[in-house]
């Protein structure tokens, strides 16, 4: 039977109780434990840096020429944390619930609750690493609103959040590389996982420069290589991995679970030709904390700046008064399409 290895107990106490009772590794023994990490994006670089700092021997692999080229830089929107800076009622539970809902209720509740618990600490760690989050005039970290929730909890770095987070994780990783705690293998691709008596014992990798096959031992293997964006064809998915690692793990008997990582943006401009490798993302242009409107008059030929406020239909605010322009992307995009199809677009074209 499939085992998720989620601790027993009440949802909000599972991981706290687990951390209090899990067996610890003696610091003197950590140097004898080798850990292999596949992928050096935000997940892989953070894991390698943290485990190296903790004293373990780490080998990190990526098929790019540098961890800086990981596709994590594409995650530009922001990162959520239940710090409740605005005192607008945010909490760990609200972040947990909103994330579960955003994952279409397919996520593992215990894992999402753990994510909500550590969210505030993640922001503190990023700030300590030098990530230049946007700040208010007085110096406090700024938050902005994102759709589907009624609180402000998104920390951001202008339009470069993913890039700045990756730089912070990369610096922490390189520090451990320079200290000798992490051994970096760039231009390497994992071909298979070595499993002996049901336990992972290492990997087979190819040196993409020489073509040589290499064996690497590890007491544990972490697959941090992202998801297979190509399976969604022209999707706006930010997942840029070739998913070799996850596929090889599946061939060894690993199950697919917790599919909430799959993110499809419905707010896209249609394909214009074969030259497009993915859809063009409209993202926040259809909703956010601005005011979205169409003319109240059907087939109105006037330019937007010629239409007075009293003749504008703020349709999201009218239809969804509790959320207004902060409705989820799919709701906003369907509502916008309905208005345009009904002839309420702006301008003669």
Dihedrals φ, ψ of 129, to 5°?
-80, -5
Domain topology for 24-260: FAD/NAD(P)-binding domain (3.50.50)
Q: Answer yes or no: is pLDDT of 131 > 90.
A: yes
Q: b or e along 52-91 (b: 16 or more beta carbons within 10 Å of the residue's beta carbon)?
A: beebbbbbbbbbbeebbbbbbbbbbbbbbbbbbbeeeebe
Q: Give the per-residue pLDDT at 66.
A: 92
Q: Is the pLDDT higher at 282 or at 239? A: 282
Q: What share of the chain is helix, strand, coil (3-state, %, to 5)?
A: 35, 15, 45
pLDDT in tens, 293-334: 999 999 888 888 899 999 999 999 999 999 888 888 778 888
Angle at 122 between CA 143 and CA 70, to 5 degrees: 95
Q: What is the pTM of this model?
A: 0.84
Mean of the pLDDT values across residues 71-87?
Answer: 87
Please tell me which residue in 114, 153, 329, 339 is annotated as part of the active site: 329
114 is catalytic: no
Task: Decide: helix, strand or coil at residue 250.
Answer: helix
pLDDT in tens, 265-304: 656 666 777 777 667 666 566 666 778 899 999 988 888 8
Angle at 187 between CA 183 and CA 193, to 5 degrees: 70
Question: Domains of the chain: which residue ranges?
Answer: 24-260, 280-341
Mean of the pLDDT values across residues 116-140?
Answer: 92
In DSSP notation, 15-40 reads HHHHHHHSPPPPHHHHTT-EEEEE--
Q: Give the per-residue pLDDT at 216.
A: 97
Using a 10 angstrom Cβ sphere, with 0-12 exposed, 13-18 middle and 19 or more buried, the burial of residue 317 is: middle
């Amino acid at each position: 039977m499939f085992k998720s290895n989620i601790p027993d107990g009440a949802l909000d106490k599972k991981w706290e109780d687990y951390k209090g009772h899990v067996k610890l590794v003696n610091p003197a023994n950590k140097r004898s434990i080798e850990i292999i990490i596949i992928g050096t994006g935000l997940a892989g670089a953070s894991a390698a840096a943290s485990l190296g700092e903790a004293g373990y021997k780490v080998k990190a692999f990526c098929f790019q020429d540098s961890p800086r080229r990981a596709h994590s830089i594409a995650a530009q929107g922001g990162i959520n944390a239940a710090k409740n800076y605005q005192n607008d009622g945010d909490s760990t539970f609200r972040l947990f619930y909103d994330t579960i809902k955003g994952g279409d209720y397919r996520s593992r509740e215990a894992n999402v609750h753990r994510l909500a618990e550590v969210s505030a600490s993640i922001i503190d760690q990023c700030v300590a690493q030098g990530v230049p989050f946007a700040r208010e005039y007085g110096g406090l970290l700024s938050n902005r609103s994102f759709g589907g929730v009624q609180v402000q909890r998104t920390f951001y770095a202008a339009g470069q959040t993913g890039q700045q987070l990756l730089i912070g994780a990369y610096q922490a990783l390189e520090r451990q590389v320079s200290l000798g705690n992490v051994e970096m293998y760039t231009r390497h691709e994992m071909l298979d996982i070595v499993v002996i008596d049901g336990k992972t014992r290492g990997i087979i990798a190819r040196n993409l420069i020489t073509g040589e096959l290499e064996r690497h031992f590890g007491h544990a293997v972490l697959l941090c290589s992202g998801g297979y964006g190509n399976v969604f064809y022209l999707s706006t998915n930010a997942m840029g991995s070739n998913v070799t690692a996850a596929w090889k793990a599946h061939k060894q008997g690993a199950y697919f679970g917790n599919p909430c990582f799959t993110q499809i943006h419905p707010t896209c401009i249609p394909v214009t030709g074969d030259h497009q490798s993915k859809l063009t993302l409209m993202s926040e242009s259809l909703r956010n904390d601005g005011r979205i409107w169409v003319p109240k008059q059907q087939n109105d030929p006037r330019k937007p700046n010629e239409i007075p406020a009293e003749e504008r239909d703020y349709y999201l605010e009218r239809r969804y008064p509790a959320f207004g322009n902060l409705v989820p992307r799919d709701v906003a995009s369907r509502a916008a399409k309905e208005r345009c199809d009904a002839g309420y677009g702006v301008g003669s074209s």
